[in-house]
C-alpha cells in the first residue's frame, strides 16, 4: 500500500468494546481495563498480522523527550480482513494514533478500538465516519435483522426431520459479549471453583496457544456455523472446531477420551433440538478464566427454530462441580444469503503468545526451578 494512498486513509476502527472483549477472543478483561481508555501515538516499529491477535508496536515520545515502546493489540485476522484491513494496511514507519483500553498493571499495552493512520480521512469499517466521543460506531458482529428467504432451501441434503438446520448459519445474530456473559451473577462458585479461579493467570488461556477452544466457548463465538446431516448424526463446524451430534440414541463408548468438543447426542421434540454433551476436556468457560472441570462437566443445549426456519434461539446450560448451580449462556443463529459454507478457519500463530510472554518476563519465570 503506497504512502500516497495511506495519506488519505482515516481509520475509524469499529467500536467492538461490547463484542470482541470476549472472543477478543482471548481474555480481554484479564489484560485490559475497559474503564481506563486513552489515545497514544507514535511511529510503527513492528507488525505482526497473525492470529490470535493482530499486533503492532509503536515508539511513543514521553514528556522528557525519551521514547517508550508500546504494544497495540487488535482483533483476529478474520475480523480484520472482514473490514478490509490486511497485512499491508499498517507498515513499519507509518504514524499511528490509537484509541482504546489500557493494559492492566501499568503494562505498556493498548487494545485498539479506533485509529488514525498517517492523518488520513477515509473510513473502512462500512459505516459513516463518527466522532471518537460519540460511541456510536456499529459492531462488526452484532446483527438483529435476517437477510434470508423462507422460500429458499438452505439444507446441504434433505433432512430426515420435519425441521432442517443443515447449511450455513451466522452466529452474529443476537450476539453478546462472551467474557462475563454467564448467568446467574455473581458467579455461584464452590470453594474449590473460587480457589481455582482466583489463582488463574491470563497467560494460561488455552486459546492463546491456538488450542481449540471447544465447548462451551465455541457455542458463544460470533463465527459462521456449518451443519451437515450425515444420517445418524449432525456434523457441526465452527471456528475450526468439528463436532458430531449423534441422533441415534447411542451413548459415549466406554473408555472414550475427553476432548475439547466432547461427546454429544441430540434429539428433536417439535421444533427444538436438545443436545447433551459429556466427556469434555478441562478448560475455561469464557475469556475471563472461569474454570471448567471437564471430567464432571455436563452441558445441555437447546436450538429452538423459528416458524419460518430462518433463525434459531440457542440456550446452553452448564453443570459443573466448580459451581453451586447451573450456568446459562444465550445466543442466536440466523440464515444469511451473504454467507456460504465455511471454508475453514484462519491460520493461527502460537508463537505470538510466547513472544508476548517473553516481553512481559513471564516465560523465564515458568522455566525457573527455584
Residue 265: the pLDDT is 97
Output DSSP code: residue 156: S
CA distance 230 to 227: 9
Q: Sheet of 167-169: strands edge to edge?
A: 167-169, 225-229, 233-238, 241-246, 263-269, 272-278, 298-305, 311-319, 327-334
* Cβ pair 224, 342 in contact under 8 A: yes
Beta bridge mates, 15: none
Separation of CA 149 from chain center: 28
Determine phi and psi for 329, rounding to 5 degrees.
Answer: -130, 135
Residue 285: the pLDDT is 96
Residue 287: the pLDDT is 87
Residue 17: the pLDDT is 34
Residue 239: the pLDDT is 78
Residue 76: the pLDDT is 78
Beta bridge mates, 338: none
Give alpha helix (H) positions in the chain: 3-7, 17-20, 28-31, 77-82, 191-198, 217-220, 351-359, 362-366
Question: Which mean pLDDT values do the consecutive 10-residue runs of the chain (370 residues) have?
Answer: 45 37 51 88 92 89 91 84 83 91 90 82 34 36 73 70 90 88 97 96 80 90 91 89 94 92 96 97 93 96 96 98 98 90 59 65 56
Residue 142: the pLDDT is 57
* Cβ pair 228, 166 in contact under 8 A: yes
Residue 84: the pLDDT is 79
Residue 154: the pLDDT is 75
Three-class secondary structure of residue 82 per DSSP: helix
Residue 125: the pLDDT is 37
- What are the cell numbers at 322? 466448580
| pTM attached to this predicted model | 0.63
Which domains are present in the chain?
3-126 (2.40.50.140), 167-334 (2.40.128)
CA distance 84 to 79: 9
Query: Is the four-CA dihedral 54, 59, 63, 64 of positive or negative sign?
Result: positive
Amino acid at each position: 500500500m503506497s504512502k500516497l494512498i495511506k495519506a488519505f486513509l482515516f481509520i475509524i476502527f469499529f467500536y467492538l468494546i461490547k463484542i470482541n472483549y470476549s472472543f477478543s477472543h482471548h481474555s480481554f478483561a484479564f489484560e485490559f481495563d475497559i474503564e481506563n481508555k486513552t489515545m497514544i501515538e507514535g511511529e510503527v516499529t513492528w507488525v505482526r498480522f497473525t492470529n490470535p491477535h493482530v499486533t503492532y508496536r509503536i515508539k511513543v515520545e514521553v514528556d522528557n523527550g525519551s521514547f517508550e515502546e508500546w504494544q497495540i493489540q487488535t482483533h483476529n485476522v478474520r475480523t480484520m480482513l472482514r473490514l478490509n484491513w490486511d497485512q499491508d494496511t499498517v507498515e513499519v514507519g507509518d504514524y499511528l494514533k490509537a484509541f482504546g483500553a489500557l493494559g492492566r498493571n501499568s503494562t505498556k499495552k493498548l487494545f485498539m478500538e479506533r485509529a488514525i493512520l498517517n492523518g488520513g480521512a477515509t473510513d473502512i469499517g462500512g459505516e459513516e465516519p463518527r466522532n471518537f466521543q460519540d460511541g456510536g460506531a456499529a459492531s462488526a458482529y452484532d446483527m438483529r435483522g435476517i437477510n434470508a428467504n423462507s422460500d429458499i432451501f438452505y439444507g446441504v441434503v434433505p433432512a430426515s426431520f420435519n425441521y432442517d438446520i443443515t447449511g450455513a448459519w451466522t452466529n452474529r445474530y443476537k450476539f453478546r459479549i462472551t467474557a462475563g456473559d454467564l448467568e446467574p451473577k455473581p458467579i455461584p462458585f464452590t470453594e474449590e471453583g473460587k480457589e481455582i479461579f482466583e489463582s488463574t493467570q491470563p497467560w494460561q488461556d488455552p486459546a492463546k496457544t491456538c488450542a481449540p477452544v471447544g465447548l462451551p466457548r465455541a457455542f458463544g463465538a460470533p463465527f459462521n456455523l456449518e451443519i451437515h446431516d450425515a444420517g445418524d448424526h449432525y456434523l457441526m463446524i465452527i471456528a475450526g472446531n468439528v463436532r458430531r451430534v449423534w441422533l441415534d440414541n447411542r451413548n459415549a463408548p466406554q473408555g472414550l477420551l475427553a476432548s475439547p468438543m466432547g461427546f454429544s447426542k441430540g434429539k428433536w421434540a417439535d421444533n427444538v433440538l436438545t443436545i447433551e454433551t459429556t466427556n469434555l476436556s478441562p478448560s475455561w468457560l469464557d475469556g475471563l478464566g472461569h474454570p471448567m472441570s471437564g471430567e464432571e462437566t455436563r452441558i445441555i443445549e437447546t436450538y429452538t427454530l423459528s416458524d419460518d426456519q430462518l433463525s434459531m434461539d440457542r440456550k446452553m446450560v452448564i453443570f459443573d462441580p466448580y459451581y453451586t448451580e447451573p450456568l446459562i449462556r444465550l445466543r442466536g443463529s440466523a440464515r444469511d444469503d451473504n454467507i456460504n459454507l465455511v471454508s475453514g478457519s484462519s491460520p493461527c500463530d502460537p508463537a505470538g503468545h510466547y513472544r508476548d510472554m517473553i516481553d512481559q518476563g513471564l516465560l523465564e519465570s515458568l522455566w525457573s526451578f527455584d
